[in-house]
Amino acid sequence: MLLTITCTPPEGAAWPASDLGFLLHKNPGRVQAFEQSYGIAHVLYPEASEQRCTVALLLEVDPIRLVRGRSRNTPDFSLGQYVNDRPYAASSLLSVALGSVFRTALRGRCELRPELARTELPLRVELPAVPCKGGPEAARKVFAPLGWEVVATPLPLDPAFPEWGESHYLRLELSGTMRLADALSHLYVLLPVLDGAKHYWLAADEVDKLIRTASGWLGEHPERAWITRRYLARRQSLVRTALARLAEVDDVDPEQLDAVEDTGESNGSADPTEASAVHEAATRTPSLAVARRAAVRAALHEAGAHRVLDLGCGEGVLLRELLSDRMFTEIVGVDVSMRALNIAKRRLRLERMPERMAQRLTLLQGALTYTDARLRGYDAAVLMEVIEHVDPPRLGALERSVFGSAAPDSVLVTTPNSEINVRFEGLAAGEFRHDDHRFEWTRAEFTAWADGVAARYGYAVRYVPIGTPDPEFGPPTQMAVFTKRTTNDEKGAA
Ligand code: SAH
């Protein structure tokens, strides 16, 4: 079982191709072997020059050892354990090896060459034998949306007897320009998906692993439902949890947003026998994050807001959407995290933005729990998925600074509806959808809070559900739309 990754830096690059060794934390001058539960993973570099560097990951699989780890009551005690394709075909084992041998690279970390870890590199991946039941089309549909040029060539069942036709193995060649960590994460998730057969037991932390590895790209992949189902070996409850959590994660490159929203409708792979409500929801409707931004934007339009604050703007996904909408003449993104603001700057390409657009946008660092005179006098403020990140004892301070001091005409607050969490298996009772959430509220808890705020600060409030609602537990996201009761005349005085 063999995988090679070749990097060819563009002409005039400031770094030699052999720096790939730093990114992978594996010295190009050495052949290394890593003991795995199912055999040995070798890492070697067939070529490591300034112009071109190829790393090979070679798995020597011991089919006997592969089954030995299994529990006694394994049903498939049969010749299949001894005679199978595992030693030759790229599969989930290769993915397991990638995850252990290149773990740090997969996470995008490299202390010696941090900038190179963030750089998009021209890469070429070759796999001489990939089991792929769906044929070349399946390989294309999962890799192409991620920016890979895909050449998938079916291998004959037996080269000596071409009339026997093709096997379900492919030679797969992928070329693309992307961060090494992204390339590894694509392979890590998608090789077992193509294979379709899982060779290790599905543990409960499998959902976490998937979210951690693929959250940057899978949430917006047009085939996310199919990929998730296959990755989790069709365990419906886990699949549902994973899709719900992926819809929450929204790390999509704003550059790709327009394309993504166009593909929200795609449903190329629906398998009618397996259609489930979740699958339908995930493939036919836009992701929750997309629906949330659409609802916020619609409410801003309805309020007639032109000058808006995005409080807790994070990495700027909503900012980009507001910028593309001429309705909004002045947009201010505020966040306490400098890191998030820097990512926002980079993703919005602030430096290269046309001046007329750049003039409409301001990014400010600030904490919403302190009053800030810079935030006064705007038409509207959005707090999208922010309040649940604030410690409950500090919520009063946030209310004072947003509703008391900044006091825009409208305030939109979105937050998860915790009632629906019971639908996410894998979330133990009382657990939250994100590690950083300080609380998640039921609909009743949210309205109690928002009604109180509205009464204390002179706003009217209405509630808007976001996302496909559960008949019993309501929508996944809830939004409160506050409208100031006083007339605009007082605003100038504030
Ligand atoms: N609104 C964005 C980000 C939500 S994540 C979106 O929906 O995509 C929550 C954000 O709130 C994080 O970026 C976090 O840094 C920010 N945040 C949390 N507490 C904050 C505070 N007290 N003041 C300002 N920003 C805060």
Tell me: the pLDDT tens digits for 165-220?
777 889 999 999 999 999 999 999 898 888 875 444 455 567 778 888 888 899 88
Mutating to test ligand 1, I would choose from 252, 300, 368, 386 the residue with most ligand atoms within 8 A of its C-beta, which is 386
Ligand 1 centre distance from Cα of residue 174 (Å): 37
The alpha carbons of the chain give a radius of gyration, in whole angstroms, of: 25
Q: Would you mind telling me the total number of residues written for the chain in this entry?
A: 494
pLDDT score for 297? 96
Q: Find all residues with CB under 8 Å of 316, minimum gap 6, and list them.
A: 254, 333, 340, 343, 344, 345, 347, 348
On whether the CB atoms of residues 307 and 330 are closer than 8 A, the answer is: yes
pLDDT score for 254? 30
pLDDT score for 266? 28
pLDDT score for 76? 41
Q: Which atom of ligand 1 is closest in space to residue 337's alpha carbon? A: 15
- Which of 51-55, 71-75, 261-265 has the weakest average pLDDT? 261-265
Q: CATH 3.40.50.150 spans which residues of the chain?
A: 288-493
Query: Is the pLDDT at 265 greater than 60, yes or no?
Result: no
Query: Is the pLDDT at 380 greater than 60, yes or no?
Result: yes
Any residues with Cβ below 6 Å from ligand 1, and which?
A: 250, 312-314, 317, 335-337, 340, 367-369, 384-386, 389-390
pLDDT score for 39? 81
**Structure-token pair, residue 27:** 């010295």
Mutating to test ligand 1, I would choose from 336, 369, 388, 434 the residue with most ligand atoms within 8 A of its C-beta, which is 336
Mean pLDDT calculated for residue range 45-56 = 96
**Does residue 324 or residue 277 have the better pLDDT?**
324
For the chain, give the percent of residues with pLDDT over 70.
Answer: 78
Ligand 1 centre distance from Cα of residue 325 (Å): 22
Ligand 1 centre distance from Cα of residue 340 (Å): 9
User: Which CATH number fits the domain 2-201, given the four candidates 3.30.1610.20, 3.40.190.100, 3.90.550.10, 3.30.450.40?
Assistant: 3.30.1610.20
For the chain, give the percent of residues with pLDDT over 90.
Answer: 52
Please tell me the distance from the alpha carbon of residue 153 to that of residue 161, in angstroms, as a whole number.
Answer: 17
Query: Is the pLDDT at 162 greater than 90, yes or no?
Result: no
Please tell me the distance from the alpha carbon of residue 253 to that of residue 358, in angstroms, as a whole number.
Answer: 19
CATH of domain 288-493: 3.40.50.150
Between helices 180-195 and 92-101, what is the axis angle to 10°? 150
Q: CATH 3.30.1610.20 spans which residues of the chain?
A: 2-201
Ligand 1 centre distance from Cα of residue 385 (Å): 7
pTM: 0.52
Ligand 1 centre distance from Cα of residue 63 (Å): 49
**CA–CA distances in Å: residue 114 to residues 43, 53, 111, 346:** 22, 19, 5, 16
Ligand 1 centre distance from Cα of residue 152 (Å): 43
Q: How confident is the model at residue 285 (pLDDT cuts 50, 70, 90)?
A: very low
